[in-house]
Amino acid sequence: MKQDIRATIGQLLEWVSVRGYCDSYKIHYKSTTNQLIRFMDANGIIGFNTSVGLRFLREQYGFVPHSKPKRSDSFRLRTMQMLSEFQLHGVPLPRNRNREYVVPIGFRTATERFLAHRRFIGIVERNMSTVSLYLERFFSYLNGCGVTEVPAITIPHIHGFLLFLTGFTNQTKNHTMRTVRQFLGFCFSNGYHPTDLTAGVPSVHYNRRSTIPSAYSYEDVMKLMTFVDRANPVGKRDYAVLMLLTRLGFRCGDICDLRFKNINWERNIISITQHKTGEPLTLPLLEDVGLAIIDYLKFGRPRCDSDVIFIRHRAPIGPLVSKSFYDMVSGYIGKAGLRVQGKKRGPHALRHSLASRLLEENVPLPVISAILGHADTNTTADYLSIDIEKLRRCVLEVC
């Protein structure tokens, strides 16, 4: 029998406190969980689970499941999810991808063979880590339900897992359930499960083009760059990183892994193997980008044995990690006072901004695809929605 929700709330509060969560987070957490307890008491509810949490959010705040949560609801939804995870596993499920993934012993053989099969058919390693993350969440949920081996998985377990994913976006739920479907299909085909459960795995539909990608104008991007203090070593590094984001549209993973060997100074080109797709990409080393990198290497980069160009300036000295880029870009957007209502503040918004500017300059779509490293021009077509001026020209006059 699951423990009382009050005990879970107290233990989770201790868990977040030990891990250094800020005071404002803990204040919001206490407020939400106090209301949850009052709600459960008023309705005579004894045990907590994901369904109870969703009912609480719906009746207390008007939250609609399977819709994009408002910013004010996102924290409460995450709290309900963490409580459910903590009850099932004693800890919230990890979200960091840069780690070893935990596969319970009863699922290990089937999982290892499934992952080997995915690699054999050409799935790039970055996507393999995402597959491993989704399966780890699925197995963690199953273990919490008392399911410890593949043959014991049933359709109700699959539907329960989808409900468990309520705090994630429809896109993440879609990709997660697709991975579960592929895994269960593999298990049936290879004798790990006696029944083909694939038809019972729900599909989560989402419109990947239903929202306009975040983008900033050329003037805003230039303004942002002026707020970088290029007189100090960290500023020199940040400026070079921002130049790669805004001028060449590099992804964060590719900047983190950029090495001295990737730059041909004599030919003025940068050649990399893309972290996301595994495909090669060669771009011209624009003069201003090259000068920014040289300035950092000569006058800003700490001494380090690593052949990675961009490194941390605080101990332990070593390569940057992708998650540090959001704080960097968001910080400069804040310093520049850019209007961010309805826009994202991370590095990918600068990549979108480059695509938008190229569209405004009538650069052909295949060329933009090549610059951004897209294997399919349909991916680049998403950026058409941010070329507002061209959209205005397409609007028919109202009679």
Catalytic residues: 251, 276, 348, 351, 374, 383
DSSP 308: B
Q: Report the amino acid identity of residue 237.
A: R
Burial letters 187-211, b for 16+ CB under 10 A, else e: bbeeebbeeebbeebeebeeeeeee
- Residue 35 neighbours by CB under 8 Å, 6+ apart: 56, 60
- CA 84 from chain centre, in angstroms, equals 21
Give backbone dihedrals phi and psi of 184, rounded to 5 degrees, phi first: -70, -35
Say whether 73 sits in a helix, a strand or coil. Answer: helix
Q: What value, to the nearest 5°, has the Cα angle with vertex 332 and ends 327 and 337? A: 125
Q: Which helix (H) or strand (E) holds 182?
A: helix 170-189
Do residues 354 and 246 make contact, with C-beta atoms less than 8 angstroms apart? Answer: yes
Beta-bridge mates of residue 280: 273
Hey, how many other C-beta atoms are within 10 angstroms of the C-beta on 253? 16
Length of the chain measured in residues? 399
- 291/321 Cα distance (integer angstroms): 23
Tokens of 344: 């994202």
Do residues 140 and 93 make contact, with C-beta atoms less than 8 angstroms apart? Answer: yes
Say whether 281 sits in a helix, a strand or coil. Answer: strand
Q: Could you tell me the CA-to-CA distances from 389 to 111, 253, 351, 393, 396 in Å, in that order?
A: 49, 32, 19, 7, 14
